[in-house]
């Protein structure tokens, strides 16, 4: 059994100082999210309303965008743990994603080429996410993990807020110039990569108590607490609708100008930004599972509002509940899982969890895209 008893996080606490490494990683994520969310915000507009892709094609691409990370997360997490090179593996992921922004320029109108470029971008995300989150857990006090992830996710969300705004301003100034959006996105990605190289400190002082191998990584699933976290996260992930579909449905029901799709993620990001730190600290005090599950209650509430409301109540209700969902779940899930595994397998374990969740959400995107196409919603 490869589950650590050291560094276990108590349910209460969360008042420790936020480590400089966490803040540096937050700055990297902020810049990278400006880059990635510039693209994400216009992708439904660009593919469905610009290039004429069907909802099924968009669902498949969204599934690729979400699920291809599963092909590299476990391998990347294992390599980061085995070599104790978490910063190196994360940096490789950030670099690949940056290059993917230029690949969008070359993809043209080809669904196949676009799928390959998005797969490359998600490969980069798959490589970087688990090492980054492992560095956050290794840099923080165990009792303050919820708060540390809340601060990191809040900084990340500043980028998620600025990205769509930047994309909208560019398209408002230069209509239909998606190439300009992709180039500016690339520049922000490069800045984030440079901050990682210059300011993030690796943790190579973890002394392995077990052999670091893929077998030992998958052996983490023999632990009932960690296996339960994975099963619940995957099951709920399958019931999670992709963000792109949420914004497309809002645009369809509200009948707003298509260019304003790029602004819809600002509502989600704004709520997430305001709520991430308070809810992360609350999770440290009242229990991280409770907050995680409460986030999914908020998500299902957003779906009910999307199905039954109209007008301003539809817009505000969906975006507020959607933002609360992310604030309650994104970093909190990593804070739940982190203490359930030894330091030397931390990256591998988080990669396993994130892989399962990504695969579940990819299946959900493809299924919903198919249903939308077949039933002509």
Which pLDDT score, from 0 to 100, does residue 3 have? 38
Helix axes 243-254, 346-375, angle to 10 degrees: 30
Residue 282 corresponds to which tokens in the numbers above?
A: 């609350």
Q: What is the pLDDT of residue 112?
A: 72
Q: What percent of the chain has pLDDT over 90?
A: 32
Q: What is the pLDDT of residue 105?
A: 78
Q: If you average pLDDT over every residue of the chain, what do you get?
A: 82
Q: Provide CB contacts within 8 A for 209, sequence distance 6+.
A: 4, 342, 344
Name which residue leads in pLDDT, 233 or 56. 233
Q: Which among 110, 103, 142, 167 has a CA at the least distance from the CA of 6?
A: 142
Task: Taking residues 19-25, report their average pLDDT.
Answer: 93
Per-residue pLDDT of 281-299, as tens digits, reads: 999 999 999 999 999 999 9
Residue 28: pLDDT band (50, 70, 90) is very high
pTM, two decimal places: 0.74
**pLDDT interval class at 155 (50, 70, 90):** very high
- What's the confidence (pLDDT) of residue 227? 93
Residue 106: how many CB atoms within 10 A of its CB? 10
**Residue of 206, 80, 190 whose CA lies nearest to 133:** 80
Query: How much is the pLDDT for 290?
Result: 94
């Amino acid at each position: 059994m490869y589950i650590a008893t050291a560094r276990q996080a108590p349910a209460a606490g969360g008042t420790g100082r936020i480590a400089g490494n966490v803040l540096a990683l937050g700055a990297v994520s902020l810049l990278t999210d400006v880059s990635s969310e510039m693209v994400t915000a216009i992708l439904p507009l660009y593919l469905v309303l610009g290039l004429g892709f069907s909802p099924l094609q968009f669902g498949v691409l969204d599934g690729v965008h979400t699920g291809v990370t599963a092909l590299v997360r476990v391998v990347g997490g294992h390599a980061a743990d085995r070599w104790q090179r978490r910063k190196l593996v994360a940096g490789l992921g950030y670099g690949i994603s940056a290059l993917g922004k230029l690949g969008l320029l070359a993809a043209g109108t080809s669904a196949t080429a676009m799928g390959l470029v998005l797969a490359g971008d998600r490969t980069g995300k798959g490589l970087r996410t688990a090492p980054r989150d492992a560095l956050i857990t290794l840099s923080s006090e165990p009792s303050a993990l919820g708060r540390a992830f809340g601060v990191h996710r809040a900084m990340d969300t500043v980028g998620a807020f600025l990205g769509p705004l930047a994309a909208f301003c560019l398209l408002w100034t230069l209509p239909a110039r998606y190439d300009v959006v992709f180039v500016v996105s690339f520049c922000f990605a490069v800045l984030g990569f440079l901050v990682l190289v210059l300011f993030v400190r690796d943790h190579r002082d973890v002394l392995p108590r077990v052999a670091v191998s893929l077998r030992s990584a998958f052996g983490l699933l023999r632990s009932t607490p960690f296996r339960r976290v994975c099963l619940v996260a995957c099951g709920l992930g399958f019931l999670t609708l992709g963000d792109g579909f949420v914004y497309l449905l809002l645009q369809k029901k509200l009948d707003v100008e298509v260019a304003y799709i790029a602004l819809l993620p600002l509502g989600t990001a704004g709520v997430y930004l305001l709520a991430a730190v308070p809810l992360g600290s609350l999770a440290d005090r009242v229990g991280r599972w409770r907050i995680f599950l409460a986030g999914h209650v908020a998500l299902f509430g957003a779906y009910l509002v999307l199905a039954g409301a109209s007008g301003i109540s539809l817009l505000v209700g969906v975006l507020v509940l959607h933002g609360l969902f992310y604030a309650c779940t994104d970093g909190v899930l990593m804070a739940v899982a982190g203490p359930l595994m030894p330091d030397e397998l931390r990256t591998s374990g988080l990669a396993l969890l994130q892989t399962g969740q990504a695969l579940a959400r990819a299946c959900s995107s493809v299924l919903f895209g198919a249903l939308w196409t077949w039933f002509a919603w």
